[in-house]
Structure 1
Amino acid sequence: MNDKTELAKKADANVQPAMKQTEAAIRPAVDIFEDESGITLLADMPGISKDRLNIKVEADVLTIEGDAEIPMPEGMEPLYADIRANHYQRSFTLSSEMDTEKIEANLKNGVLSLRIPKREEHKPRKIEVQVG
């Protein structure tokens, strides 16, 4: 019985550091809109600049990461901050109907906008009816 308890303790010790890393990341608030040609994703990421932002797609997972930069006046140190972390991270599983090769990204005023179009074969198309 003690061996199992020791193994459980070791497993918990290995899991906790990974959990702390996850807790340190901020999950940005995201709105997702779908229309017939694709989806638009809007993520609130204040303090993020283009050079501190990383967007990638691996297999069918879209990952957004970035480090916010909170400017401090020279010679000042923060005594208190509402934000405990400055690393944003969020992942989404994309449907196979999305064309990940044509994702467009735009960053403006701390809002990241991603446009992910549907593959041509998944877009609705109108069928012309022949008479006669």
Structure 2
Amino acid sequence: MSENTAVSKADARDDAALQPPVDVIEDAAGITLYADLAGVPKDKLHLHVEGDALTIEGEIVLEMPEGMENSHAEVGLARYRRVFTLSKELDASKVGAEFKNGVLKLSIPKAEHAQPRKVQVTVT
């Protein structure tokens, strides 16, 4: 089953978004993801976890002082959006988030079954 949808140029522009650069660090406990979201205030930052998809969205707010006009802009899109597929080894219900100085830090622990564990050896 497929759906035929026509997207106008204006609609495509509304759906367009910058992909924030990210760094992902993995260790035995899980992963830590850092996303650079320059210009996004905390109230315009949205995180969603649905199924195995993690979505980061943010709206850039650049206020122009009254009476001034923008003569040059290098950021043509006013929002960020990036979607990640989470491994079944990660526990999406325990995502932790911190946002400081335009950098989002997400901590996603490994699920219980994926955590390293020590096996006790008995001598007989």
Find the counterpart in structure 2 of residue 129 from structure 1. 121
Q: Say which of 38, 46, 64 aligns to 1:46.
A: 38
Q: Say which of 35, 60, 66 aligns to 1:74.
A: 66
Q: How does 1:1-132 map to 2 (within 5 A)?
A: 14-15=6-7, 17=9, 19-22=12-15, 24-132=16-124
Q: Which blocks of at least 5 consecutive residues in structure 2 are unaligned?
A: none
Match of 1:75, as an amino acid? G
The 3-state SS of whatever aligns with 1:76 is coil
Structure richer in helix, relative to its length: 1
Q: TM-score, normalised by structure 1?
A: 0.83
Q: Which moved more, 1:116-125 or 1:71-80?
A: 71-80
Paired with 2:98 and 2:89, the residues of 1 have a C-alpha distance of 22
Q: Which blocks of at least 5 consecutive residues in structure 1 are unaligned?
A: 1-10
Match of 1:53, as an amino acid? L
The 3-state SS of whatever aligns with 1:25 is coil
Percent of pairs with identical residues? 48
Match of 1:85, as an amino acid? L
CA RMSD of aligned residues (A): 1.6
**Deviation for aligned residue 1:99:** 0.7
Q: TM-score, normalised by structure 2?
A: 0.88
The 3-state SS of whatever aligns with 1:26 is coil
Number of positions where the alignment pairs a residue of Structure 1 with one of Structure 2: 120
Match of 2:81, as an amino acid? Q
